[in-house]
Structure 1
């Protein structure tokens, strides 16, 4: 099963691209820094992924981490002004376009399931545009329509900070994800507009009350592009059993986050986290959500990941570990690739290519 194709539900590689920042890395060249570039993606069997655009804060936080007697707390991040956020997102869109142009058709922007599959058939790498946090979108939602026209197909309502649409969870352990109020009225309008436009809504980083607001409003499957099980690691970023059940009941998907502090039961930021701990998370999610509802959401270039994986080129070691845990070929292919395409077909305005939801 070494030839299995992998689609990744989340990475932060855009933040480090040479096309975005002069001191960045050339995504077309193999690097030993970070986790993801095209050569390492191809070495690891990665056929494409959701590439997150993200607005950095106006001021970098200082001394925002507190170590407690049983875990940690990170001071809740400040909101970002929409103008500041939009400037960065526009620059990141431009950088992705430049990268695709430089790639000589080695990389393609995909806006439909057909385009993802066509890229795979032609040996090209597929980028699907995601935005992590709707901070750049104003109250009239007009920028959302512009982003959709530019290729955006996935949106996280919040990162772990507030905006005009809702409230992200502050990073903390041990902590419930029930950390504040739900979506604002504008946030509820945003959910409805995403449904109308066929943009997938990502509940990662959203607090629990916001999650349930999305669940009550959205006509699409519930999706968390990068998260783990709260029952194993009670981080505020992880999903409770009740949330996992809701994702299952809508035919949605959870992308398994490789961040060690959300995988480990003790939430330690330890690179020497064994693959057994990763497999335990996957097994738990599959038992709770079903084989049709669990995929990969690595968080490459945005987290500390297990040393045994190291970077995108190490994904075959994760595949081997999952196989040894008892995954058959059908379950492996769903986890690695097919579950993302299934939920895209159910969510995007690509209805003719929608695959059947799980029973």
Structure 2
């Protein structure tokens, strides 16, 4: 398998940042490195960050209304009441899908939307940037399940059915720290049916935002590796979104994967949103997950452009600092290579084949 030190990430929110941007041409700014944030193409190239799972995500309504009210006006409905309209939800997801397509179309061959491991490997060979499309929170598909075929045809290959909000697919996961993952009911019948539909398409099923009952419902339904694209160890940080040892055992038994989230609130033992957080805490979560899952089941799930990072990790350009901490912790070169990319390649190939 081609590698040569490149990094592949399990989760970022670049597409949502581009959609929220007030820049005249955020796609241009990403490609040419003039857009603020954790990621842009020149910095990714410099860091040998060759791609990952790129999330299409519906931000909280109150955040959009307060900070980006023009985005509501640009949706098909001008309603700016207490929540998004169903059509706005669909339009926002389509808009982010179109931004991914524009990144590919306007990059002069530098960026490619990938749907197979072979395509990702070809991108590495050709020094291209690989985008795997992911949907974080399937509210739009709960409104119109037929959208799945449309988005799949456009390249969607990974889906997280739930986020913090309750939908007809199941409860969200939104409780104060500290808390166990047991926060509500599991998947509804509609949610279970939809998981089966996605699994038949050999899509990655992401459990990162599922409560515990929905996690176990999913584990019973799917016959493929269980993947948490951006979650950490609950034993080290008791956020409800982090994974218990029992959940980790199930992921290991399924030959699955966990991507470590760099957000300080999901790393720190006190759960605080405090950027004065050592990179050693990320390494602690990596080491804990390796101990419980094994060398082949842990990677990065940074949550870049959607999280609050430690001061020493201002963005993708600082990823070498984290690699150095892993080396200081006596992670072997082989293990570091697996965490940086090879483990993601393994699980994606297993699911997509």
1:40 maps to 2:43: yes
How far the C-alpha of 1:327 sits from its partner, in A, is 1.2
Deviations 1:251-300 (A, max 9, x none): 00000000001101111211121111111111001001111110000000
Separation in structure 2 between the aligned mates of residue 244 and residue 278 of structure 1, nearest angstrom: 17
Deviations 1:197-235 (A, max 9, x none): 111110011111000000011111100000110000001
- Structure 1 residues 346 and 32, CA gap change in structure 2 (3 angstroms): same
Separation in structure 1 between the aligned mates of residue 54 and residue 217 of structure 2, nearest angstrom: 25
Separation in structure 2 between the aligned mates of residue 32 and residue 19 of structure 1, nearest angstrom: 12
Aligned to 2:256: 252
Aligned to 1:190: 194
Residue number among 83, 90, 100 corresponding to 2:87 in the alignment: 83
Deviations 1:76-101 (A, max 9, x none): xx986542211111111111111211
1:280 maps to 2:281: no
Matches of residues 3-18 of structure 1 in structure 2 within 5 Å?
4-17=5-18
How far the C-alpha of 1:5 sits from its partner, in A, is 0.9
CA contact (8 A) 1:10 1:226 kept: yes
CA contact (8 A) 1:10 1:51 kept: yes
Q: TM-score, normalised by structure 1?
A: 0.88
- Structure 1 residues 24 and 287, CA gap change in structure 2 (3 angstroms): farther
Separation in structure 1 between the aligned mates of residue 236 and residue 19 of structure 2, nearest angstrom: 38
Q: Secondary structure, in 3 states, of the residue corresponding to 1:254?
A: strand
How far the C-alpha of 1:33 sits from its partner, in A, is 2.4
How far the C-alpha of 1:140 sits from its partner, in A, is 6.2
Separation in structure 1 between the aligned mates of residue 213 and residue 238 of structure 2, nearest angstrom: 17
Deviations 1:82-126 (A, max 9, x none): 422111111111111112111101111111000000001000000
How far the C-alpha of 1:162 sits from its partner, in A, is 1.0
- Structure 1 residues 171 and 100, CA gap change in structure 2 (3 angstroms): farther
CA contact (8 A) 1:82 1:138 kept: no
- Structure 1 residues 11 and 88, CA gap change in structure 2 (3 angstroms): same
1:306 maps to 2:310: yes
Separation in structure 2 between the aligned mates of residue 181 and residue 79 of structure 1, nearest angstrom: 23
Separation in structure 1 between the aligned mates of residue 247 and residue 169 of structure 2, nearest angstrom: 20
Separation in structure 1 between the aligned mates of residue 329 and residue 4 of structure 2, nearest angstrom: 18
- Structure 1 residues 20 and 118, CA gap change in structure 2 (3 angstroms): farther
Separation in structure 1 between the aligned mates of residue 264 and residue 58 of structure 2, nearest angstrom: 24
Superposed CA RMSD: 2.1
1:315 maps to 2:316: no
- Structure 1 residues 130 and 20, CA gap change in structure 2 (3 angstroms): farther
Aligned to 1:294: 298
- Structure 1 residues 21 and 196, CA gap change in structure 2 (3 angstroms): farther
Q: TM-score, normalised by structure 2?
A: 0.90
1:224 maps to 2:228: yes
Separation in structure 2 between the aligned mates of residue 160 and residue 7 of structure 1, nearest angstrom: 26
Matches of residues 91-106 of structure 1 in structure 2 within 5 Å?
91-106=95-110
Range with bigger deviation, 112-121 or 327-336 = 327-336
CA contact (8 A) 2:169 2:189 kept: yes
Aligned to 1:115: 119
| Matched pairs, number | 334
> Unaligned stretches of 5+ in structure 1?
64-77, 352-359
CA contact (8 A) 2:260 2:302 kept: yes
- Structure 1 residues 287 and 307, CA gap change in structure 2 (3 angstroms): same
Residue number among 56, 59, 79 corresponding to 2:59 in the alignment: 56
Separation in structure 2 between the aligned mates of residue 80 and residue 214 of structure 1, nearest angstrom: 28
How far the C-alpha of 1:323 sits from its partner, in A, is 1.5
Residue number among 21, 30, 33 corresponding to 1:27 in the alignment: 30
